[in-house]
Amino acid sequence: MLSFTAEEHDGQVIPRRHELLAEAPGSDGFAEVTFALKRESRPGQYELIGTADRPPFRVYWRPPADLAPGETLSFVATIDDLRGHRSATEVRGIKVAPSAIEFGIRGATVPVITRKPASVSRARAGTSLDLKIEATGTPPLEFAWLHDGRTVPGAVDPLLHLSSLTEADSGRYSATVHNREGTAISRDFAIKVEP
Protein backbone atom coordinates (compact mmCIF):
# COMPACT_ATOMS: atom_id res chain seq x y z
CA MET A 1 0.00 0.00 0.00
CA LEU A 2 1.20 3.46 -0.90
CA SER A 3 0.36 5.90 1.86
CA PHE A 4 0.97 9.61 2.12
CA THR A 5 2.08 11.82 4.97
CA ALA A 6 2.14 15.56 5.59
CA GLU A 7 3.84 18.03 7.85
CA GLU A 8 2.51 21.22 9.34
CA HIS A 9 4.30 24.58 9.23
CA ASP A 10 2.70 27.73 10.64
CA GLY A 11 -0.77 26.19 10.41
CA GLN A 12 -0.31 25.04 6.81
CA VAL A 13 -0.50 21.32 6.02
CA ILE A 14 2.09 20.42 3.39
CA PRO A 15 1.95 16.95 1.80
CA ARG A 16 5.31 15.22 1.61
CA ARG A 17 6.58 14.18 -1.79
CA HIS A 18 7.85 10.67 -2.46
CA GLU A 19 11.38 10.08 -3.72
CA LEU A 20 11.69 7.78 -6.75
CA LEU A 21 15.19 6.48 -7.39
CA ALA A 22 16.67 4.36 -10.19
CA GLU A 23 20.11 2.91 -10.71
CA ALA A 24 21.68 2.86 -14.18
CA PRO A 25 24.46 0.27 -14.02
CA GLY A 26 26.93 0.40 -16.87
CA SER A 27 25.96 3.94 -17.88
CA ASP A 28 29.17 5.55 -16.55
CA GLY A 29 26.89 8.27 -15.20
CA PHE A 30 25.97 9.38 -18.74
CA ALA A 31 22.27 8.66 -18.94
CA GLU A 32 18.84 10.14 -18.70
CA VAL A 33 16.14 8.43 -16.67
CA THR A 34 12.49 9.22 -17.29
CA PHE A 35 10.06 8.34 -14.52
CA ALA A 36 6.41 7.68 -15.37
CA LEU A 37 3.25 6.46 -13.69
CA LYS A 38 0.63 4.07 -15.07
CA ARG A 39 -2.83 3.84 -13.57
CA GLU A 40 -4.75 0.60 -13.98
CA SER A 41 -7.85 2.74 -14.64
CA ARG A 42 -6.18 4.41 -17.66
CA PRO A 43 -4.76 1.60 -19.80
CA GLY A 44 -2.32 2.57 -22.53
CA GLN A 45 -1.52 5.91 -20.93
CA TYR A 46 1.45 7.08 -18.90
CA GLU A 47 1.83 10.16 -16.71
CA LEU A 48 5.21 11.88 -16.71
CA ILE A 49 6.68 12.28 -13.25
CA GLY A 50 10.04 13.74 -14.23
CA THR A 51 13.51 13.11 -15.58
CA ALA A 52 16.98 12.95 -14.07
CA ASP A 53 20.14 13.31 -16.12
CA ARG A 54 22.87 12.55 -13.58
CA PRO A 55 23.43 10.24 -10.64
CA PRO A 56 21.74 9.79 -8.33
CA PHE A 57 18.90 9.35 -10.81
CA ARG A 58 15.92 10.49 -8.74
CA VAL A 59 12.83 12.65 -8.80
CA TYR A 60 10.36 13.72 -6.15
CA TRP A 61 6.73 12.91 -6.86
CA ARG A 62 3.63 14.70 -5.65
CA PRO A 63 0.45 12.68 -6.22
CA PRO A 64 -2.14 14.42 -8.41
CA ALA A 65 -5.43 15.58 -6.90
CA ASP A 66 -7.44 13.00 -8.87
CA LEU A 67 -5.57 9.94 -7.56
CA ALA A 68 -8.26 7.78 -5.97
CA PRO A 69 -7.85 5.54 -2.91
CA GLY A 70 -7.68 1.91 -4.00
CA GLU A 71 -6.23 2.80 -7.43
CA THR A 72 -3.58 0.35 -8.62
CA LEU A 73 -0.38 1.99 -9.90
CA SER A 74 2.82 1.03 -11.67
CA PHE A 75 5.97 3.13 -11.68
CA VAL A 76 8.21 2.94 -14.74
CA ALA A 77 11.82 4.11 -15.11
CA THR A 78 13.17 4.28 -18.67
CA ILE A 79 16.93 4.64 -18.99
CA ASP A 80 18.53 6.14 -22.12
CA ASP A 81 22.31 5.83 -21.90
CA LEU A 82 22.82 8.57 -24.53
CA ARG A 83 24.59 6.04 -26.75
CA GLY A 84 21.43 4.71 -28.36
CA HIS A 85 20.59 2.07 -25.76
CA ARG A 86 17.26 2.12 -23.93
CA SER A 87 15.92 -0.11 -21.19
CA ALA A 88 13.07 0.11 -18.74
CA THR A 89 12.04 -1.33 -15.44
CA GLU A 90 8.64 -1.32 -13.81
CA VAL A 91 7.27 -1.75 -10.29
CA ARG A 92 3.67 -2.98 -10.55
CA GLY A 93 0.63 -3.55 -8.40
CA ILE A 94 0.97 -0.71 -5.90
CA LYS A 95 -2.36 0.18 -4.27
CA VAL A 96 -3.11 3.71 -3.05
CA ALA A 97 -4.11 3.79 0.63
CA PRO A 98 -7.03 5.97 1.76
CA SER A 99 -5.85 9.36 3.01
CA ALA A 100 -7.36 12.55 4.36
CA ILE A 101 -4.44 14.52 2.87
CA GLU A 102 -5.33 16.62 -0.17
CA PHE A 103 -2.87 16.94 -3.01
CA GLY A 104 -2.60 19.20 -6.02
CA ILE A 105 -5.27 21.61 -7.16
CA ARG A 106 -8.65 20.77 -5.66
CA GLY A 107 -10.98 19.39 -8.35
CA ALA A 108 -8.26 19.37 -11.04
CA THR A 109 -7.69 16.29 -13.18
CA VAL A 110 -4.58 15.12 -14.98
CA PRO A 111 -5.24 14.95 -18.75
CA VAL A 112 -6.76 11.71 -19.99
CA ILE A 113 -6.06 10.76 -23.59
CA THR A 114 -9.41 9.79 -25.09
CA ARG A 115 -8.35 9.30 -28.71
CA LYS A 116 -4.99 8.19 -30.06
CA PRO A 117 -3.79 8.19 -33.64
CA ALA A 118 -4.86 5.22 -35.69
CA SER A 119 -2.25 2.51 -35.75
CA VAL A 120 -0.38 3.30 -38.94
CA SER A 121 2.53 1.05 -39.65
CA ARG A 122 3.37 1.89 -43.26
CA ALA A 123 3.06 5.02 -45.40
CA ARG A 124 4.29 5.91 -48.87
CA ALA A 125 7.05 8.46 -49.42
CA GLY A 126 5.74 11.72 -50.86
CA THR A 127 2.28 11.35 -49.33
CA SER A 128 0.83 13.16 -46.30
CA LEU A 129 -0.24 11.75 -42.96
CA ASP A 130 -2.33 13.30 -40.17
CA LEU A 131 -1.91 12.13 -36.58
CA LYS A 132 -4.56 13.30 -34.14
CA ILE A 133 -4.99 13.04 -30.41
CA GLU A 134 -7.86 14.08 -28.16
CA ALA A 135 -7.85 14.53 -24.40
CA THR A 136 -9.94 15.68 -21.48
CA GLY A 137 -8.75 17.28 -18.26
CA THR A 138 -8.69 20.59 -16.46
CA PRO A 139 -8.05 23.32 -19.04
CA PRO A 140 -5.95 24.75 -20.49
CA LEU A 141 -4.45 21.69 -22.19
CA GLU A 142 -1.07 21.96 -23.92
CA PHE A 143 -0.06 19.47 -26.62
CA ALA A 144 3.35 18.37 -27.89
CA TRP A 145 4.50 15.65 -30.30
CA LEU A 146 7.63 13.52 -30.08
CA HIS A 147 9.46 11.68 -32.87
CA ASP A 148 11.93 9.07 -31.60
CA GLY A 149 11.86 10.73 -28.19
CA ARG A 150 12.65 14.23 -29.48
CA THR A 151 10.19 17.11 -29.54
CA VAL A 152 8.84 17.93 -32.99
CA PRO A 153 9.47 21.70 -33.34
CA GLY A 154 6.28 23.75 -33.58
CA ALA A 155 4.00 20.71 -33.10
CA VAL A 156 1.81 22.10 -30.30
CA ASP A 157 -1.68 21.22 -31.57
CA PRO A 158 -3.77 18.05 -31.18
CA LEU A 159 -3.20 17.45 -34.92
CA LEU A 160 0.24 16.67 -36.34
CA HIS A 161 0.33 17.02 -40.14
CA LEU A 162 3.26 15.30 -41.85
CA SER A 163 3.49 16.31 -45.49
CA SER A 164 5.72 14.97 -48.26
CA LEU A 165 6.87 12.03 -46.15
CA THR A 166 10.45 10.82 -46.46
CA GLU A 167 12.33 7.93 -44.84
CA ALA A 168 13.47 10.41 -42.15
CA ASP A 169 9.84 10.54 -40.97
CA SER A 170 9.97 6.83 -40.10
CA GLY A 171 10.20 6.02 -36.42
CA ARG A 172 8.32 6.10 -33.13
CA TYR A 173 5.79 8.85 -32.48
CA SER A 174 4.00 9.81 -29.28
CA ALA A 175 2.12 12.80 -27.92
CA THR A 176 2.01 14.55 -24.57
CA VAL A 177 -0.88 16.50 -23.07
CA HIS A 178 -0.05 18.82 -20.17
CA ASN A 179 -1.99 20.94 -17.71
CA ARG A 180 -1.23 22.36 -14.26
CA GLU A 181 -2.00 19.01 -12.61
CA GLY A 182 0.23 16.76 -14.73
CA THR A 183 1.32 15.41 -18.09
CA ALA A 184 -0.17 12.43 -19.91
CA ILE A 185 1.94 10.56 -22.46
CA SER A 186 0.52 8.37 -25.20
CA ARG A 187 2.06 5.03 -26.06
CA ASP A 188 4.58 5.01 -28.87
CA PHE A 189 3.37 3.96 -32.29
CA ALA A 190 5.62 3.22 -35.24
CA ILE A 191 5.52 4.57 -38.76
CA LYS A 192 7.59 3.15 -41.59
CA VAL A 193 7.83 5.28 -44.70
CA GLU A 194 8.41 3.21 -47.82
CA PRO A 195 9.33 4.32 -51.35
For residues 15 and 159, the model is more confident at: 159
Q: Is the separation of the CB atoms in 110 and 182 below 8 Å?
A: yes
Please give the Cα distance from 11 to 55 (Å, whole number): 36
pLDDT at 57 (0 to 100): 94
pLDDT at 178 (0 to 100): 97
At 54-85, the pLDDT tens digits run 999 999 998 999 999 999 999 999 998 877 78
Least trusted range by pLDDT, from 110-119, 157-166, 170-179: 110-119
Please give the Cα distance from 44 to 146 (Å, whole number): 17
Structural domains present in the chain: 6-95 (2.60.40), 112-194 (2.60.40.10)
| Reported pTM | 0.84
Please give the Cα distance from 138 to 156 (Å, whole number): 17
pLDDT at 75 (0 to 100): 97
Q: What is the mean pLDDT of the chain?
A: 91
pLDDT(160) > 80:
yes
Q: Predicted confidence band at 51 (pLDDT cuts at 50, 70, 90)? A: very high
How much of the chain is helix, strand and coil, in % rounded to 5? 0, 50, 45
For residues 11 and 18, the model is more confident at: 18
Beta bridge partners of 96: 2
Coil, strand or helix at 11: coil
Coil, strand or helix at 168: helix
| H helix count then E strand count, the chain | 0, 18
